[in-house]
Amino acid sequence: MNPELLAAIAAILSACTALIAVLIGPLISARVQHRQLVAEIREKWAHDLRDTLSELTATAERASSVILQAREISPDLQAAYEKLVRLEAKAKMMLKPGKKGHHRLQEQLAQIVALAGDKDKQVKVKMPEMRSLVESIVPTVQAVFDDERKG
């Protein structure tokens, strides 16, 4: 074959390779940056949700253990219950109710708030139930985090 023709083909191939690299390189870089950004957002979401849920469970146990004196709501219980309701709302806003694990977690949080606010149950009955409810959300939360990591 003609050496000039081979040189021309090599030059065209080199130019095409450079053109492809120039066009595809930024696309790949943008995709990698997007994935890193999504991963950072998910990590922050998971951290914030963990903080909210740990504070919610601690508040729930405290609210359910405050003894009602003379069948009136003590200021400590009222404050704890209000904080519990705020934390439940915050956690629910961080969840996606369309997802199965998220929906289950929302149901469990509602049960915790309802039990903490139940004035008719005695503390000795309420505390074991609250402990059971609080412990039951741990596997649900772990499943939610696993789904988010995969997805």
Average pLDDT over the chain, rounded to an integer: 83
Summarised one tens digit per residue, pLDDT across range 25-40 is 888 888 999 989 988 9
Greatest pairwise CA separation for the chain in angstroms: 106
Query: Do the Cβ atoms of 97 and 106 come closer than 8 Å?
Result: yes
Mean pLDDT score, 79-104? 86
What per-residue confidence (pLDDT) applies to 69?
43
Mean pLDDT score, 30-53? 89
Q: What residue spans define the domains of the chain?
A: 44-150
Token pair recorded at residue 108:
């469990």
Query: Do the Cβ atoms of 56 and 45 come closer than 8 Å?
Result: no
Mean pLDDT score, 121-133? 79
- Rounded CA separation 109/115 (Å): 10
What topology does CATH give the domain 44-150? Answer: Four Helix Bundle (Hemerythrin (Met), subunit A) (1.20.120)
Give residue 111's identity as a one-letter amino acid code.
Q
Mean pLDDT score, 67-86? 68
